[in-house]
Structure 1
């Protein structure tokens, strides 16, 4: 009996060690920064950056890794202290609930082994989350709510236009106050239930991408196997998202889904993190025709920061992607969509955003255009379309 109890105790100790080391190791491997901070820019770029009233980013997966976002981290790309250091007013935190083994840009099976299951266990999450995508989703939603609450009056969970207006007003006198919004990457998280849309809306979700890296109940992924458009369930979900006030995120969707959503949706769409095919010809990136249709819909396009979306070297290609959207449809339709903490290597973490301002200045963008790209477009989009 003593040997058995000792064995159980040993297993428990190993489990505790795993909780404290395995997720950190995995994140360090999956979310590297190519150039470590601090970052330096010209005095002119720094002065312009410091004049920006509202900086926003449309995509960050930091909730996945189990880090305490209230504390400044030494790994990953985003947390609340680094948001403040970078003067970022608003971040869209997105929930990843499933990721296929061997994930790639070309073709992934929905039946592939799920990478998130062992990570969920290793983080010490409740067994209720181990095999339920919906429970994982609600758990990450609750985590963001807790992080915001821990900030007291220095953070706002943005769920409505009123919340956003409050953030804008408070930041006129206190730039330490930050805003956090919540999205979902991949409609598989809903487990084919329209009723779950009500649950995630109640939890604060205001953006959902129909698909991520594999086909699901909504339809085809840009990286899946069937390239199909919206299923009947997907069409019903899009209509209900419109009714509730949940934005549809077309990043990772098949071209057929993009067309179907733009035909069905009565509300403007978001492409939270993408590249453009004119800069990098990839199946995960937008064609000129798609960009024009999204602009005609009144949507907004977030340009990602990693090589598989923009190519290498990243920074000049980020600038080129922004410039292409501006020249094609207008400056008001383009924004930042980093994909920070999204299992990608990035050239700089969130404190390196002044490098983008410097790049835009060197490319001849005016100060008003830079303000638009860095956050004014996002602010105006949500002021106009958030319920």
Structure 2
């Protein structure tokens, strides 16, 4: 294990609340945009990306064992090049794993992710950020599932014909999820692809929670009661997501942590985490940093190497038991993914 991993593990392993070392925490980050740097700029993920926020050396330092590559399709690819673009990003992730099999593995299930992590390698899992990637075609959605995509964020910051985003409604935008949108989510459930509610409107959020599908996630958000941003979740949404058995990845986007984004720091991220825990309970919280999707990260959380520090603070300040800490570090999110797989 890397030194940073042992650093954030040591106190937990020695605590009275952890009599057994059979289950050890590793960190899971369910949302980074790093694959775009690999595909578009040819950055070296394994040796290091000095101008980025995520690379293998720093992930090892933090103790990250499972990492979700969010394949985000820029709106410039609309209307008919989105599917080609998302496949290009998947190709890039596959090429990385093929070139570095001794260090990285591409996981198509949570069991594969666990096995890869247990072997000492980084498990990479694929997500798609934005339902515009499927170009209103269920066949293209199935194709992405067949390629190993394990979650799809239903919308990005743009309304779709079948799903309303968190942006201001327009005359033509749907009110929540349409009938076709429900078919999209049902098809995702059939293929074991988790519905991610980041970026969606409250109406779309509620519509998915009311469907007869496994519990969804919000891959990257914070508490709206602490920072009134439309991308964040209200207390009632956090409660509903938790009651449904879903999970939320705490984001580190400065503007989601504070309306004065320049003041965002480690302490404020911990404050959001503790609020979410107090509202939704210990089973709802995970990590969804959005590293490499932001120009500047919070002070004290400048890159992924600092995630171990964040985890330690949340464990200590939240007075989490060993089991609760395991949930936060990875199990809360993995449990949701396994529910969709089954």
Report the TM-score, using the length of structure 1 for normalisation.
0.75
The alignment status of 1:219 with 2:178, answered yes or no, reads: no
Q: How far does residue 195 in structure 1 lie from its aligned partner after superposition? A: 0.6
Write the distance in 2 (CA, Å) between the matches of 1:143 and 1:346.
25
Preserved CA contact (<8 Å) 2:110 2:334: no
The correspondence of residues 107-126 of structure 1 with structure 2, limited to 5 A, is: 114=76
Q: Which residue of 2 aligns with 1:303?
A: 250
What do residues 95-129 of structure 1 show as CA deviations (whole Å, max 9, x unaligned)?
Answer: 11124xxxxxxxxxxxxxx3x69xxxxxxxxxxxx
Report what 2:327 is aligned to. 372
Q: How many residues align?
A: 316
Q: Does 1:188 align with 2:132?
A: yes
| Aligned partner (choices 278, 281, 285) of residue 225 of structure 2 | 278
Secondary structure at the aligned position of 1:206 is classed as strand
Say if 1:54 and 1:379, in contact at 8 Å, map to a contact too: no
What per-residue deviation string (whole Å, max 9, x for no partner) do you get for residues 271-303 of structure 1? 000011121121111111111111122111011
SS, match of residue 286 in structure 1: coil
How far is 1:64 from its partner? Answer: 1.6
1:199-218 equivalence runs, <5 A:
199-218=143-162
Q: Give, in whole Å, the separation in 2 of the partners of 1:361 and 1:161.
A: 24
Contact 2:226 2:257 in 1 (8 A): yes
What RMSD, in angstroms, separates the aligned Cα atoms of the two structures? 2.6
Indicate conservation of the 8 Å contact 1:55/1:376, yes or no: no
Question: Whole-Å Cα distance in 2 between the matches of residues 218 and 48 of structure 1?
Answer: 48
Q: Measure, in 1, the Cα distance between the counterparts of 2:110 and 2:28.
A: 16
Relative distance call for 1:151 and 1:197 in structure 2 (3 A) is: same
- CA distances 1:171-222 after superposition (whole Å, capped 9, x unpaired): 2xx43x1101111111001111111011111111110011101111332110
Match of 2:337 in 1: 382
In 2, the alpha carbon distance for the partners of 1:93 and 1:167 equals 16
SS state at 1:258 partner: helix
Report the secondary structure of 1:353's partner residue.
helix
In the alignment, which of 1, 6, 11 is matched to residue 48 of structure 1? 11
Shift in CA distance, 385/239, structure 1 to aligned 2, threshold 3 Å: closer
Partner of 1:327: 278
Give 1:354's match in structure 2, choosing from 308, 328, 333.
Answer: 308
Spell out the pairing of 1:1-387 with structure 2 (5 A cutoff).
47-48=10-11, 53-65=25-37, 66=40, 67-99=43-75, 114=76, 132-168=81-117, 171=118, 174-175=119-120, 177-226=121-170, 228-311=175-258, 312-347=263-298, 348-361=302-315, 363-368=317-322, 369-387=324-342
Q: Which structure 1 residue ranges, 4+ long, deviate > 4 Å from structure 2? A: 43-46, 49-52
SS in 2 for 1:68: coil
Distance, in Å, in 1 between the alignment partners of 2:160 and 2:71 is 16
TM-score, length of structure 2 as denominator length: 0.84
Q: Which moved more, 1:138-147 or 1:346-355?
A: 346-355
Hey, what's the Cα distance between the residues in 2 that align with 1:98 and 1:321?
29
Shift of 1:339: 0.6
Q: Secondary structure at the match of 1:89?
A: strand
In structure 2, runs of 5+ residues without a counterpart are 15-23
Per-residue deviation at 1:58? 1.1
